[in-house]
Amino acid sequence: MLTKRIIPCLDIKNGRTVKGVNFVDLRDAGDPVELADAYSKAGADELVFLDISATEERRKTLADLVLKVAAKINIPFTVGGGISSVEDVDVLLQNGADKVSINSSAVKNPQLINDLVGKFGSQCITVAIDAKQIDGNWIVHLVGGKVPTELNLFDWAKEVEERGAGEILFTSMDNDGTKDGFANKSLSRLSQELNIPIIASGGAGNMQHFVDTFKEGKADAALAASVFHFKEIEIKDLKHELRNNQIPVRL
């Protein structure tokens, strides 16, 4: 049976992991390769690397990092952040990334989704969508939720699917950082209206939140950062809890 995926997300700046990582047993918690390896051994199903660098050398640093990660780990990983062209994606996939995630560049140029899918296939193109509610409507935002667009979450998600994306990573800006749980109502609606996998992101605070997002939110995968980085939740414990709740997981 296809299992639900647990995905730790690592924020990367200039080739190093940023913001709080509390892995006392790691020699260098700022080394993404070492952290990725630790998560892989802890039972993570997949990893996401989100590059937030803003330097000129960003592309090369990220490509080098992808190569090092691919050499070390034996589970799939996705790379996102600032990807805006077929050439960007080509380098990352050739260096060993399994999937790439695009966000702002897809909103600015939706044809990019078709171009990437045509060249690399649906299976490696994830579209990340950040959205929050304004007057009861889910509005897609850019730049980490700072800049609102004209797009409605559900319309945009449908368009993303029609253009061939293989998966959607939906982050609710209303839930992100709250530790109050995922945006299960809208996740569940996305899951019903679309026929591609949906990754839930934003709001993870405890294990019950994961149970809820798989059951009520009908998510196919759940992504989180701080609860894993600060060891508030151990992936093994989480998976046992999910299995106890009749949710299929890889253990």
The binding site for another protein (CB under 8 A) comprises 1-5, 40, 45-46, 67, 70-71, 74-76, 93-98, 118-124, 166-167, 195-197, 220-221, 250
98 in catalytic set = no
Q: How far is the CB of 145 from another protein (least distance, A)?
A: 25
220 in catalytic set = no
**130 or 167: CB nearest another protein:** 167
d(Cα 72, Cα 160) in Å, to the nearest integer? 32
**16 or 72: CB nearest another protein:** 72
d(Cα 177, Cα 194) in Å, to the nearest integer? 26
d(Cα 59, Cα 235) in Å, to the nearest integer? 31
d(Cα 92, Cα 83) in Å, to the nearest integer? 10
β-pair type (221-224, 198-201): parallel
- Catalytic-labelled residue, pool 51, 130, 176, 220: 130
CA R_g for the chain: 17
Cα-based distances in Å from 170 to 102, 154, 219: 12, 11, 10
Q: How far is the CB of 34 from another protein (least distance, A)?
A: 16
- Answer for the pair 222, 199: CB distance below 8 angstroms, yes or no: yes
- Answer for the pair 204, 175: CB distance below 8 angstroms, yes or no: no
**110 or 197: CB nearest another protein:** 197
**195 or 246: CB nearest another protein:** 195
Q: How far is the CB of 148 from another protein (least distance, A)?
A: 29
Q: How far is the CB of 120 from another protein (least distance, A)?
A: 6
Instruction: Give catalytic residues, as residue numbers.
Output: 11, 130
